[in-house]
Amino acid sequence: MQLEKGERSIISYFPSSTKAQKAMDELKKSGYQTMEMNKVGFYRAMTNAEYNNPINRASSLAALTMYSDGGMDKNPGILLAADPSASGLSTGGELVGGKGFSVVVVTNEEGLNKAVKIIEKNDGYV
């Protein structure tokens, strides 16, 4: 993505997709239009929204702890299952680093501070 003159991007990180989505919903209500959420990870694996409710849908340890099923190619799933986040040795049951989801928001200079406040209010880190 290339920003237009006068545009700014805000990259923020969240401990869960639920909190990231809540921040995005609030940003949208406040008039922000261009934003995107992604899962941050070390391995090439497909994020699957169904695994945000792992109790009845988890197909593997990686699905349960990393919100991912490894995608069509199961090789990354082996790496995901061996990750410290899957072992329980990470930061209190969260993904390593505690901020496994990113949200990027594009705004102009005038909207910058308001967007940062909304992100931080929803447990985001800028």
Query: 36 forms bridges with which residues in the sheet?
Result: 104
Say which range, 38-47, 58-67, 107-116, has the weakest mean pLDDT: 58-67
Topology of the domain covering 7-40+99-126: Alpha-Beta Plaits (3.30.70)
DSSP, res 68: B
Residues 1-49 have pLDDT tens digits of 688 999 999 999 988 888 999 999 999 999 999 999 988 765 544 444 4
State CA 75 to chain mean position distance: 22
Tokens of 30: 């406040």
Q: Where are the domains of the chain?
A: 7-40+99-126, 41-98
Query: 14 forms bridges with which residues in the sheet?
Result: 101
